[in-house]
Chains A and B, each alone.
Chain A
Amino acid sequence: MSNRNAKLINWLWMILCFFFLFSPGPLWAAGAVQGSTGMPWWGWPIILFFFCFVLGIIAVLAGVGGGVLYVPLVSAFFPFHLDFVRGAGLFVALSGALAAGPGLLKRNLANLRLALPVALIASTCAIFGAFLGLALPTNIVQICLGAVILFIAILLSTSKNVERPTVTKQDAIGLALGMSGSYLEETSGEIVHWKTHRTLMGFLLFIVIGVAAGMFGLGAGWANVPVLNLLMGAPLKISVATSKFLLSITDTSAAWIYLNKGCVIPLIAIPSIIGLMLGSIVGVRLLAKAKPKLIRYLVIGVLIFAGGKALLKGLGY
């Protein structure tokens, strides 16, 4: 990594750390109804925009979705209620997935035959998850969110994805649905053929993934990839790309539930979406020169911090 880029990334982290340490979020939240906010109405949206811009860069460099960072960090350090953070979080994840989808589909990395059956399960369960998340008391959701974020941090630090898992025999469901395909491995010029196995177990896990995505407003890439890759045997590239495309379907169903429940405020949602999209574009440019491993460890650290904070917030500390 060149010195210039290393410096830039260090700066991004310093800005985030500074914000975490000096965020007046909880104070604002306490006095919100009385309107004793002190800052003009445009203050928080501007901070949110730049925060999401930095988050977008870091998410790309760390190889995680924006939603998984957005919900725990914004709910921890901004004065918005969790309802609005989850509503915006789903649209953040949705817009990122929709923007990335075309390139992945055209290169046949995101595969409709793999995505469609699991998307049907996950999107149906995401509706249930959204209703569940909106029905439960906020502190319970905060506690569960904290636990899930800590689990994701552990998953990110321990999960060892396999580039091309060996699938000796396709199972009956995978065979019946034709869940197989091929793609061009650009690094070697090979055409790689793949097929799935343990499809039923994969489908069952997508029930849990869908509920979690809807309940917490998180993009579920962190869970999609290990299930598609490690359990169902899809190659890593196919799993990552199909997961991104899957989010556009899973998050659509949950996002509509939040929208219909009045949980989407444009003043919060739009700077988040645009900030993260612009950050992602810059992140892709920095990707070639960054040290993803180091950034990944830093993200895991931030997730542990944010998860712990959500947990404590839910417990009333």
Chain B
Amino acid sequence: MNIKVNSREAQASPEQIAYANLLFYVAWGAILLMTITYFLYVTQLITPYIPIQDIPKYWSLPANEFAKHTGNPAGWGWFPLLGKGDFLNFAGISLLGTLTIIGFLTLVPAYIKKKDWSYLTITILEIVILILAASGILGSGGH
């Protein structure tokens, strides 16, 4: 392993710095958002879709059984219920899940500019995989 004294070589690339900045603000923003929505949920300032006192009755059941008893929606079924106290929490949760996709989107122009076709292909494939996973196309609902 070479050891040289040239600190510029050890610096992160501009696309890496951009990705890092995005991660920092959105990740901590999502965690703050979750803290606020959870407070609104448990204090029942916003009425939940599933009565909060019913959840402990069913949380030891598999997810499909839980859904049968509570009407817990599968896939993106939570999205129209964002106005309910419990599903409002999914705003922060889904933001955490979307953050990596957004981060990868910021890498695309950087790799095009560098004409780094192999990493551009990897980045695009990763975006497709993550979107497929998030979309629910691959499968949602009870198992």
Contacts and interface: CB of A to CB of B under 8 A. Distances in A.
A285 to B, nearest CB: 18
B112 interface: no
Given A32-B60, A45-B42, A117-B122, A256 B97 contact: yes
B27 A249 contact: no
A192 B142 CA distance: 50
A262 B64 CA distance: 8
Interface string B1-37: 1111111011111011101110110011011001101
A266 B41 CA distance: 9
Contacts of A102: 20-21, 23-24, 27
A268 B93 CA distance: 12
Contacts of A264: 90, 93
Interface in B87-140: 87, 89-90, 92-94, 96-97, 99-101, 107, 118-119, 122-123, 125-126, 129-130, 132-134, 136, 138-140
B27 A270 contact: no
Given A273-B31, A277-B31, A193 B3 contact: yes
Interface in B31-75: 31, 34-35, 37-38, 41-42, 52-53, 55-64, 66-67, 72-75
A80 B60 contact: yes
B111 to A, nearest CB: 10
A110 to B, nearest CB: 8
Nearest to B39: A270
B27 to A, nearest CB: 4
Contacts, number: 244
Contacts of B101: 252
Contacts of A269: 89, 93
A265 B42 CA distance: 13
A91 B93 contact: yes
Interface in A160-209: 164, 166-167, 176-178, 182-184, 190-194
Contacts of A182: 4, 9-10
Given A91-B93, A184-B7, A270 B38 contact: yes
Contacts of A194: 1
B59 A257 contact: no
A267 interface: yes
Most chain B beta-carbon contacts within 10 A, residue among A134, A184, A260, A267: A260
B74 A262 contact: yes
A191 B7 contact: yes
A230 to B, nearest CB: 15
A35 B63 CA distance: 17
Interface centre among A34, A127, A190, A267 (most CB of B within 10 A): A267
A41 B50 CA distance: 13
Size bin of chain A's contact surface? 35 or more
B74 A112 contact: no
- Main SS at interface, chain A: helix
B13 A112 contact: yes
Contact of A267 (B15, B21, B55, B92): B55
B63 A83 contact: yes
A191 B6 contact: yes
Contacts of B3: 190-193
A270 B34 contact: yes
Contact of B20 (A44, A106, A167, A192): A106
Interface in A77-107: 79-81, 83-84, 87, 91, 94-95, 98-99, 101-103, 105-107
B16 A105 contact: yes
Interface string A197-237: 00000000000000000000000000000000000000100
Given A37-B56, A191-B10, A256-B97, 9 more contacts: A32-B61, A79-B59, A95-B30, A102-B24, A111-B16, A116-B123, A117-B122, A262-B142, A270-B92
Interface of B: 1-7, 9-13, 15-17, 19-21, 23-24, 27-28, 30-31, 34-35, 37-38, 41-42, 52-53, 55-64, 66-67, 72-76, 86-87, 89-90, 92-94, 96-97, 99-101, 107, 118-119, 122-123, 125-126, 129-130, 132-134, 136, 138-143
Leading 7 A-B pairs by shortest Cβ distance = A266-B89, A105-B20, A32-B60, A102-B24, A98-B27, A260-B140, A108-B12
